[in-house]
Amino acid sequence: MSKVNIIYWSGTGNTESMAKLIAEGAKEKGAEVKLLNVSDAKDEDIKEADVVVLGSPSMGSEVIEESEMEPFVESISPIISGKKVALFGSYGWGDGEWMRNWVSQMDDSGANLVNDGLIVQEAPEGSSVEDCKNFGRELV
Ligand SMILES: Cc1cc2nc3c(=O)[nH]c(=O)nc-3n(C[C@H](O)[C@H](O)[C@H](O)COP(=O)(O)O)c2cc1C
């Protein structure tokens, strides 16, 4: 069974809602899914996963969250090489620049990115609910 570990940071719950929908989609396809707030995530959660899914909203000025997510992402760079990785997150008013930069940063770390990342404006609703579930389904 494919192990999908979803690790996210969320301030107001939008990225967390995305994470739950992605988990739902992956579970539907038979994956064993672990959903973790980044404050609870450990190296082992990266090492054991077949697919690592990382989520952060756009914060600061078009960057991932800086107090917990960025240090975690930095800390896993030695073990992320060759891993299947997918990124997602919510944003407010930008054009997704933070996600493009994050994708290219992970690419530089040697991660095997399985897609270009999923971005949703604020909370997932309407068609973006299905987009999140599909994103999860396609990871498996
Ligand atoms: C401090 C702060 C900085 C933000 N910076 C950006 C930004 O640069 N670009 C953008 O599109 N949205 C920005 N946002 C909006 C958030 O990305 C958006 O509200 C998102 O839905 C929050 O996700 P969350 O509920 O998972 O925390 C910012 C929000 C906050 C609180």
Average pLDDT, the chain: 98
Longest dimension (CA), the chain: 39
The predicted structure's pLDDT at residue 91: 98
The predicted structure's pLDDT at residue 87: 98
Q: Which residues line ligand 1 (CB under 6 A)?
A: 10-15, 57-62, 90-94, 122
Q: What percent of the chain lies above the pLDDT cut of 90?
A: 99
pLDDT digits (tens, 9 = 90+) for 29-69: 999 999 999 999 999 999 999 999 999 999 999 999 999 99
Q: Which CATH superfamily is domain 3-138 in?
A: Flavodoxin domain (3.40.50.360)
Report the residue among 59, 66, 121 best suited for mutation to probe ligand 1: largest number of ligand atoms under 8 A from its CB: 59
Is the pLDDT assigned to residue 1 strictly greater than 90? no
Closest ligand 1 atom, residue 8 Cα: 26
Q: At which residue do the structure tokens 């992320």 appear? A: 80
Which DSSP letter does residue 38 get? G
Nearest CA to ligand 1 atom 28: 59
Nearest CA to ligand 1 atom 19: 92
Nearest CA to ligand 1 atom 6: 59
C-alpha span between 3 and 98 (Å, rounded): 27
Angle at 29 between CA 76 and CA 20, to 5 degrees: 55
